[in-house]
Chains A and B, each alone.
Chain A
């Protein structure tokens, strides 16, 4: 590949790529993102390749292995073009039938289609599936159309058209002006206007400046940045280059977690391809603009996602934060002006340049424009990545797109913002997805984790969980964070173990205030949020733990017991056989009894008891009834006829 010298030459190449592609040629698209790979997508791909060869269709059918499509609940997902048929939960054994019936005979295989759980209706096309239908997939939607390892796919869908537009038709000031006008706010959590950060960095003194992609996505339960970087790396690169041009930076970094090996691979390949095409390097598209990009792998530290810590890590030192009296936009990596934005923020830049700020601000609310991607996970029917316009309510995301709560359980809370965010209850479900609205409600936008909790989730335990996470991730540099989180965790652990005492809640609130005020970086300053929001909305649960030694969600191990109801037990032996510690006594026709001393509360018996008996129940806050006396243990079995 010779380097492309001008925007016109790039358009020629794009035309040439499109001319060699036949939109009517059958193409099998297989989601090969990390989540689908965990669901055997790789085996499906192998069997697909083998079967196509076996049936002599190698020249007649294309296979495209793409990044994440988002509907992880039903992965691996397959789409068949040109008809656009969508099959879900494909296993390798399905492949021969797909090739013979769908590819050769053009028939739809009913059993592989998505079934709407509400209506029982089979849905043929992705766009009709409720999970997709109510989304606005502007940033994320391209994932399903491209092989992330092939730059031609990105060019074919109009990729790298914003870059030449910026370089040849706009001055850096105009690019900056457009991003400012779009009011693009940081998608990493804080929501700081990207344009203002760019401007500060652009105006900072110094010739050498850096632009950085923050792909150190560490929030437990969030994986949208990974899926973007894995599935559409050129989009991120293009955004970064445009940012570099506007700011006056010639070096970009991509800081990505080493735990995301596929993202590291795909973005590394993308950089190499962009260099070969002349989209990176010196004198890009004949514009005189030089730009290079390096990938830096993070070695696993949540705090390294904080801007100053990340920049320290880029210098090869331990990624600890530092005070930011001077913004990193002025003194960042090696004390040079450095602009850091989240993956999703960069991904929005080419869209804004292509379509204009007015188009972008046409979506969303007063203060939050465009769309936002969330990983919708936890106790939710449709786990996956969703992209919605700002302003959509939490209720719409959870119930219309997410399909509600599984097993007919009751919704309890939605957690956004990861360890820095909060939990919102039912009465806040009409809160709009908006940076300021979510903060006002006591949570935050965060980097896109949206974890759904049902009646079985203990809110005190959720607060404890986040603090436990943060004690492990606090770098220990400042005392309020190192000691404060640890002491708050101790109190919360005591509460969940039935050792809470009066005054604990007030003490937690007091310590939270100190942390919020005195911690060095955002990790510490926002650490109390999960505690404060759960105290605010679920104080009764805290009080039940402290006063009645009761876990209302029957979740805290130390506060619950498993009990076999002698009236319901049918002495089927299932639970007794499965108990890993042999805590269940009983035999044929003998009512089973759990030895409370031996029981480790692993819940195996609870899961094992057939639903038609439902003989095992959880008890909390009250004593376990004494075991049935020996003479009353024998039961007269109901005969099969009676059932």
Chain B
């Protein structure tokens, strides 16, 4: 993310300290992760100690302080999906992509995350890849879906 865009985001929120989380959310949405330089700039502009910015950046699930893969896999681990076999689904995806939830592979192809409920329980167990939902999944189908991503 270039500096001028970063400044723009901070300015839309009137550079006030109470909008810290909203600013970080906007940066995350556009850049898909929060680089250290961006956090430092936010800290300076909002006059909020860097430690507090870091605290927020690492506390919330929405933020990532490391770069994300080209494709993001979200495996729903909500209760409905859990009782319908989500743990087995997650196991099979971990085996396929070779990373654990919260990790990104070394080629930056996939990032794997678990989420607590995607709110489409009728489709459970469900995974979401780059915004596309795949419902009523069984472990045997995961390979077929993930091979479409480069």
Contacts and interface: CB of A to CB of B under 8 A. Distances in A.
Interface of A: 34-35, 38-39, 72-73, 75, 218-223, 226, 258-260, 296-297, 299-302, 313-319, 375, 377-379, 383-384, 415, 418, 449, 451, 453-454, 457, 462, 465-466, 469, 475, 557, 578, 580, 600-604, 607-608
27 contacts: A35-B120, A38-B123, A39-B135, A220-B80, A223-B117, A299-B24, A299-B60, A300-B62, A301-B59, A302-B116, A316-B19, A316-B20, A316-B48, A377-B124, A378-B83, A379-B84, A415-B79, A578-B140, A580-B139, A580-B140, A600-B91, A601-B88, A602-B88, A602-B139, A607-B138, A607-B140, A608-B140
Contacts of B61: 299-301
B68 to A, nearest CB: 15
A301 to B, nearest CB: 5
Interface in B123-150: 123-124, 126, 133, 135, 138-140, 143
A465 B122 CA distance: 20
B79 A378 contact: yes
A260 B138 CA distance: 26
A299 B21 contact: yes
Interface of B: 16-22, 24-25, 48, 52, 55-56, 59-63, 77-80, 82-85, 87-88, 91-92, 95, 115-124, 126, 133, 135, 138-140, 143
Contacts of A38: 118, 120, 123, 126, 133, 135
Contacts, number: 148
Contacts of B88: 601-603
CB-based closest 3 A-B pairs: A300-B61, A223-B119, A299-B60
A405 to B, nearest CB: 11
A562 to B, nearest CB: 12
- Interface core residue of B133, B140, B143 (most chain A CB under 10 Å): B140
Contacts of B63: 299
Contact of B83 (A73, A319, A457): A457
- Interface core residue of B84, B95, B115, B120 (most chain A CB under 10 Å): B120
A415 B83 CA distance: 11
Given A39-B120, A462-B82, A604-B138, 17 more contacts: A35-B121, A220-B82, A223-B117, A223-B119, A260-B119, A299-B24, A299-B25, A299-B61, A316-B18, A378-B80, A383-B80, A383-B122, A418-B79, A462-B79, A601-B88, A602-B92, A603-B85
Contacts of A223: 117, 119, 121
Contacts of A75: 122
Nearest to A225: B119
A604 B120 contact: no
Given A222-B117, A258-B62, A35 B123 contact: yes
B78 A220 contact: yes
Nearest to B115: A259
B18 A318 contact: no
Contacts of A319: 59
A314 B18 contact: yes
B25 A258 contact: yes
Given A316-B20, A580-B92, A375 B138 contact: no
Nearest to A453: B83
Contacts of A379: 83-84
Contacts of B22: 296-297, 316
A301 B85 CA distance: 24
A316 B19 CA distance: 5
Contacts of B91: 600, 602
Nearest to A224: B119
B138 A226 contact: no
Given A258-B62, A301-B61, A383-B122, A603 B21 contact: no
B119 A226 contact: yes
B116 A72 contact: no
Nearest to B89: A602
Contacts of A608: 140
B74 to A, nearest CB: 10
Nearest to A223: B119
A221 B117 contact: yes
A221 B83 CA distance: 11
Nearest to B135: A38
Contact of B95 (A226, A384, A580): A580
A220 B82 CA distance: 10
Nearest to B79: A221
Contacts of A418: 79
B52 A221 contact: no
B85 A378 contact: no
A362 B22 CA distance: 43
A88 to B, nearest CB: 12
B121 A377 contact: yes
B21 A384 contact: no
Contact of A318 (B56, B80, B87, B117): B56
Contact of A34 (B60, B119, B143): B119
B89 to A, nearest CB: 9
A601 B95 CA distance: 13
